[in-house]
Chain A
Amino acid sequence: MDDEKKKEEFYERLAKSGVSRRDFMKYCTFLTATMGLSAAHVTQVADVFAAPKQRPPVIWLHFAECTGCTEGVMRHTNPYLDQLVLDILSIEYHETIMAAAGHQAEENLKNAVEKYKGKFICVCEGAISTKDNGVYGKIGGRTFMEVGKEVTSKAAGVIAIGNCASFGGVQAAAPNPGGFKGVGEALGIKTINVPGCPSNSVNFVGTVINYLLLGKMPALDNSGRPLFAYGKTVHDQCPRRAHFEMGEMATEFGSEEIEKGWCLYALGCRGPMTYNNCPVAKYNDGTSWPVQSGHPCIGCSEPQFWDAMSPFYMPK
């Protein structure tokens, strides 16, 4: 099918689901800006959705995690998951949503790794146990470590989604009983880290689209995080920031000060030491984010935040 026809069909489908072409372009502009690209790229971003040249293969592995990051991506709108799965990407392996089971599922993994060797994106969700030969986590009788090594070594690039895959996450908090580590550290490889607990789907999709659009992964900070999303602190982008400057601090939940939008620093907000774009990107189609709902930031996109940022309800 030629590109123009594909595009046409795409916009027809959008219209049927109540999204106008104009709304869609607005979203692409938002995504382009989130990625830190100039407005000249908006049309190209739109084309990635409307007329993908060929659906790039993705292999998604689950290790020690809660599946919250997968769930986050399931909630993504524009593109919705069905578009990601049917029209944009080719998800070759994903335990939560794939239809195949049994040795057929394992076969799919094996075949995809061979067929797309050096060409597929590997997404890792969850941490890898490194203690006692990784006995604390297995899939099909093999440790996470074995599965991870085999698959990531043949990938074009590895995206670690969420804090667990990026930095070890909750199971790596002291005393880290299973010796859990982030995927990059556990396997000794370079990963693009898209942390958060869970990761904001906007940042994950932004990273993938960046790859589809430019053919390379985005610029990263020292912790392997894309700068377009993790380049500034939460505090610097926070709508309550002005109150911080004025010394207007809320000291109790449910108080009048919170309603007035005062700063949550005294209640333990970790916004000043956390790099993420929550105040701007927000969650669930821009509905809200934790500080908007009156709760301090817990620093969930930072390495080892469960230990480094807690106890939570007091200033650091």
Chain B
Amino acid sequence: MSQRITIDPMTRLEGHLRIEVEVADGKVTNAWSSGQLFRGIEMILQGRNPEDAHHFVQRSCGVCTYVHALSSVRAVEDALGIEVPENARLIRNMLHGAQYMHDHIVHFYHLHALDWVDIVSALKADPQKTARIAEGLTDAQWGGTPYYKSVQQRLQTFVDSGQLGIFENAYWGHSAYKMPPESNLIAASHYIEALRLQAKAARMHAVFGGKNPHPQSLVVGGVTSSKDLSADRIAEFLYIWKETQKFIKDVYIPDVVAAAKYYKDWGGIGGTTNFLCWGDFPQGNGKDENLFMPRGLIQERDIKNLREADQEKVAECVTRGWYEKDRARHPFEGVTKPEPGEYEPDDGRYTWFKAPRYDNLSCEVGPLSRVLVAYANGHEGITKNVDYVLKTLDVPAGALFSTLGRTAARAIETLVIGEQVEGWVNELVANVKSGDKKVYQSWKMPTKEMTGYGLNDVPRGALGHWIKIKDKKIENYQYVVPSTWNFGPRDEEGKLGPVEEALIGTPVADASRPLEILRTVHSFDPCIACGVHVIDPDSNQVYKVRVT
């Protein structure tokens, strides 16, 4: 059936994923993750101007906006050997920090929460009791019996209308939902409050980036928003930051801790083995040095033995993807010849994803990796908050290697990185006060052959862009993105990708409503709609499940 097509190189995907698992005795025994969309952006980049690339690659993802553009300009700047001015570094860090704050809030409340929160149960809550619980839980600016009564009334009106819209036909009432009605009502109201807060938080990008999603102020050499280095503009950013950070501290963190108390068993489900992060947020000039979130590798969950991470050890394996046979290659040498084919998870090819490996290891990337590496590195803010969460939940450090750990790590780093944003703003203010408003370093593109790479750690994990430039044009462009690290398939040795590994052992109470699988898959924050197939060997029934 397969038809040979030459597409070289192949791009990463953002949008459609299929996951298949096998369940025996109420537990997942095998899993396959499959990318279902091919767009071809790396191929489209060939022959174009290197300084244009960031606009194209930014469109890889509109949820995790900004970050590909950042990696791309860093790769070109690396090739050119230029350093951006201090103010450009600070503004880039501020925008990146704002991305974490915004993105993680949206993920928790709008993409992940409904795996844990039963909205329908909230209708049964006692508003007075809810208000009392909420008071002991958060420092939110809203609350009280009338408030919870009005939220409940609004939900009831909605339900009574008979048009359930986005809440239609979900797994409401599933036995794996553990929170009482009052906690569900608190969470439902925070779902709405967070929706409004995030609209505001996104304005941080607009202040120094023109708009969000897809801010447009990055250029090779720095940033363009010099006109916005004014007192009122900086204050505008700072006030939105302040409100967002308050939400993270007073609402997001308490919500995660409160929910975790009902789901402690998830501290033993959904873990993986190896953890990689490139680190990010340069605290000064000089490549790869002094990153606020450190770079590193943790092998075999051994957090006492933090290893260095070097981009040279990255290779991508294509054995189980729809590609012509090839050896594993470093991105600089990345050659990809797609070959569309049948979906054959058992022993054949089953995805558009390649399988990235670090020194031949399958590695999880993302919040949990970053937090573990920072913890192992003795990072002050991270260590303090990890210890607080472990102590509050009364669980051992081993519980971090789990679906719950991943979700908690995301909240913890949001708080810590969010706090740091203020420091960058203050540095910027000091520079501007002293008369330094430089945001751009001019450059010339030589005709010689050059290579460069940009490494980031972005909300969803380790991101790298590798570029080869020849005659002022892009000769080759490859990027290895968090979703391929986490959602990639088996490699030639049959080693599972991280999500595939994490799913094994997951309990499934009702194969026709596999809520538990959504929990682990969503904990990796796929910003993609996925197709999941669950096979129950007992009944031999195949259930089709789309993770949305």
Contact = CB atoms under 8 A, between A and B. Distances in A.
Interface of A: 1, 13, 16-17, 55, 57, 62, 64-72, 74-77, 80-82, 85-86, 89-92, 94-108, 126, 129, 132, 135-141, 169-171, 173-178, 180, 197-198, 252-255, 258-259, 261, 283-285, 287-295, 298, 306, 310-313
Given A68-B59, A91-B165, A104-B170, A287 B213 contact: no
A310 B546 contact: no
A295 B7 contact: no
Contacts of A1: 157
Contacts of B150: 13, 16
A139 B224 contact: no
B14 A66 contact: yes
Contacts of A259: 226-227
A107 B223 CA distance: 47
B121 interface: no
Overall SS of chain A's interface? loop
Nearest to A109: B546
A136 B341 CA distance: 11
B224 A75 contact: no
Interface in B42-72: 43-44, 48-49, 51-52, 55-56, 59-63, 65
B532 interface: yes
A284 B240 CA distance: 13
B340 interface: yes
Nearest to A278: B211
A288 B192 CA distance: 25
Interface string B504-548: 000000001110001000000001010110000000000111111
Interface string B319-334: 0000000000000000
A69 B62 contact: yes
Ranked 3 nearest A-B pairs via Cβ: A68-B62, A254-B440, A102-B545
With most chain A CB atoms within 10 A of its CB, the pick from B60, B165, B205, B514 is: B165
B265 interface: no
A284 B211 contact: yes
B440 to A, nearest CB: 3
B206 interface: yes
29 contacts: A55-B165, A62-B15, A62-B16, A67-B15, A71-B62, A81-B195, A82-B192, A90-B163, A95-B546, A102-B512, A102-B543, A135-B340, A138-B36, A139-B546, A171-B40, A174-B44, A176-B44, A197-B214, A198-B62, A255-B440, A289-B211, A290-B210, A293-B208, A293-B209, A295-B210, A298-B216, A310-B52, A312-B49, A312-B51
A178 B166 contact: no
A287 B62 contact: no
Contacts of A96: 111, 529, 548
Nearest to A70: B62
B62 A98 contact: no
A198 B62 CA distance: 8
Contact of B203 (A62, A91, A285, A310): A285
Please classify how large the interface on chain B is, using the bins under 10, 10 to 19, 20 to 34, 35 or more: 35 or more
B527 A67 contact: yes
Contacts of B111: 96
Interface string B85-119: 10000000000000000000010001100100001
A289 B60 CA distance: 21
B225 interface: yes
B262 interface: no
A294 B226 contact: yes
A91 B167 CA distance: 9
B51 A313 contact: yes
Interface string B198-233: 111011011111111111110101111111100000
Contact of A139 (B36, B202, B439): B36
A80 B37 contact: no
Most A CB contacts (10 A, CB to CB) among B38, B442, B527 go to B38
Contact of A261 (B60, B227, B529): B227
A66 B5 CA distance: 24
